Amino acid sequence: MRSGQILWPTDFSETAAHALRYAIEMANLYHVGLKILHVVDQPIGDQNFMILAITPEELAKSMEEAAAIKMQALLEGLKTELPITTLIRRGDPVEQILEEANSKDVGMVVIASHGRTGISHFLHTNVAEDVANGAVCPVLVVK
């Protein structure tokens, strides 16, 4: 049996919302909490070639604030008695998800697959695939 929380990484997409149903079902099945993680990509900027009127740090903070608003709206829409923890991190999504997934309090990851196929699959990083390959706990990839 799982004793750690269920980790549900989200990008707030419809596909991720579909995986949330599975995450809640797993958390209820194992009588554990749900941990929701959103990762904000770190904007890249070069001080010598700034095109934006704001710095990458200001842009990242703005992205984090927008994510917090989306997270709050998501929580308000959930109809569950599960204990829920939310996290918003900055950095590479795969690295941040794996850091959390490999912590001692996570028993399973439920993550959405973006469903790319063909040449698109090879040109873009598949976060779900990288998480499934790098996590020490079980990973359920929801299509």
Task: Identify which has the larger pLDDT, 49 or 17.
Answer: 17
Return the structure tokens found at 112.
């959405």
Q: Over the stretch 108-122, which tens digit does the pLDDT of each residue have?
A: 999 998 755 444 444
Residue 119 CB burial class (10 angstroms; 0-12, 13-18, ≥19): exposed
pTM: 0.84
Q: Over the stretch 41-88, which tens digit does the pLDDT of each residue have?
A: 876 655 555 555 677 788 888 899 999 999 999 999 888 889 999 999
Q: What percent of the chain has pLDDT over 90?
A: 64
pLDDT given for residue 58 in this prediction: 84
Q: Which domains does the chain have, with CATH numbers?
A: 5-141 (3.40.50.620)
